[in-house]
Chain A
Amino acid sequence: MEPVALATRVEMSGDVAVLHAEGDVDLASADALKTALAGALEQSSTVVVDLGAVGFIDSTGLSALVWGHGQAQEAGGSLRLRRPTPMLRRLLEITALDTVLVTEDSDDPSGN
């Protein structure tokens, strides 16, 4: 299980910018996630981050998601985490970030 490079792409689903992330989010790739989030936020203040294909995420990765959440709120929108892995769910619970970041299991492309 070597580190997997992070790949991201943004697609619009109605008014929602859906950021698909795939790979690992760690010290080396958290900046790339932040850049991708900034790109998604440029398209819409309502962002869904699909993390179903993210294998590993560390605290720096979490801080990038928190940053995106803050930016979205400032712009009057929101950020939701779609398909968090069990590891991410547990991490959110341990850090009490589950009280801040909203998660959803749906992969409904309409974003609803």
Chain B
Amino acid sequence: MTPPGTDAGGDAGVDGAPTLAAVPSAAGAHTAEADLTEVLAHVAEKLEADVVTVLGVDPAADHLVTLFTVSTPPVTSGHHRVPIGQGLAGRVAAQRVTIAREDLTDDDLINPALLPLGITSAVAMPLVRGRRLLGVLKAGTRRRRRFSPEDLDRAEVLAGDVSEAVDAYVAASERSAAAALQRSLVPHTLPALAGLQMAGRYVPGRGGVSGDWYDVFELPGGRVGMVMGDVAGHGLAASVVMGRLRSALRAYALEYDDPAVVLSRLDAKIHHFEPGAMATAVYAVAEPPFDTVRIASAGHLLPIGMGADDRTAQVDVPVSPPLGVDPTCRRTSAEVDFAGPAALVLFTDGLVERRATSTSRAAEVFGSIDAALGELCSLVGPEDAEVVCGRIVDTMLTLEPPGDDVAVLVVRRLAD
């Protein structure tokens, strides 16, 4: 038991040590988690509290979820959910005002994990950044206590520090979750198919991962499907939508042969299940002996093709609007010659679109999309797919580091 006035955040013995019941977080979030822990221990000390809890707002914004609890004795707060508007914390979230209670009632304390602590008095404050509600900070004491106006002033200053730490913690957790999701969805190995050679790269942007993806899969009859896509937006939300689109596209690819139909089905799926999302995608299908490729594009940059004469240009395929814009729009596919030796380079806009800031050469290449596409064409050659892919990524990213993420897939059709 930590009597009021002792250092609840210090290196107390086993009995008195505050224990954190934290959301399991990925490695990248460790620093932010340690910072938040430190801030909460400080809050417990300053407010002479026996329990300090941070609740975050869940994605649907109708519940609070316990993120961290520092208490003596330790409790496992789990992921208790408090409806916004109910309980002390829920009311603070709904009204965005600090509420102090000398005598907590059953209506106030609706997190069952905290009941064994015998908390009598508590103060709860909204955690706000700008106009955004991040969650609620709650500090409780076992002894009955009246919070003075000075206590409340102090609490509100502390809530500012906690807001900052929670914001950093949530952002770091989402970043590492998005990165893990992205890692799990980018192909680790590409199919080995007679006559074809493939290489792919995914490079996260400065702001972490967003919604780029590429995919290569085998289909019945020896056919192969190749996808490059980009969900607008960034962070975990875009990565989650990306994961769903990737799976759905694979499912439709099994059902329909024409890439235009596959993209139309995917579009209907987005409109129904992911309203508000927008994505571009190019889908290409080839069947043995891979002398042609059928391609459709939903608002996505057309792949670069290279034929036997080593000439490179964007393939001539009609482009329809991105997915998620107009479910009734007409989509068509076109067949492109792929008789060996040939190559096809699929990529996302992050490779060719960015602000050029470093050198005049970068300004020249990234001054317009067409200049960047020209540069890209000049990097495609008749070498191994890995060599071409490496050269494209190295050259384009060294010229000017991208803000957005970048995905590139090189597919070579070897000479017969």
Listed in ascending order, the chain A residues whose CB lies under 8 Å from chain B are 1-3, 24, 26-28, 30, 55-56, 58-60, 62-63, 66-67, 70, 86-87, 90-91, 94-97, 99-100
Contact = CB atoms under 8 A, between A and B. Distances in A.
Nearest to B357: A1
Contacts of A86: 368
B393 to A, nearest CB: 19
A94 B403 contact: no
B363 interface: yes
A91 B234 contact: no
B357 A63 contact: no
Contacts of A24: 355
Interface stretch (B22-30, B146-154, B252-260, B316-324): B316-324
Contacts of B324: 66
A26 to B, nearest CB: 7
Given A91-B353, A97-B299, 5 more contacts: A1-B357, A60-B232, A94-B301, A96-B320, A96-B321
B271 to A, nearest CB: 11
Contacts of A3: 355, 403
A106 B203 CA distance: 40
Given A27-B404, A87-B368, A62 B232 contact: yes
Interface in B272-287: 276, 278, 280
A102 to B, nearest CB: 13
B114 to A, nearest CB: 35
Given A27-B404, A58-B404, A95 B369 contact: no
B174 interface: no
Contacts of A94: 299, 301, 319, 369
Given A87-B368, A91-B369, A58 B325 contact: no
A1 B355 contact: yes
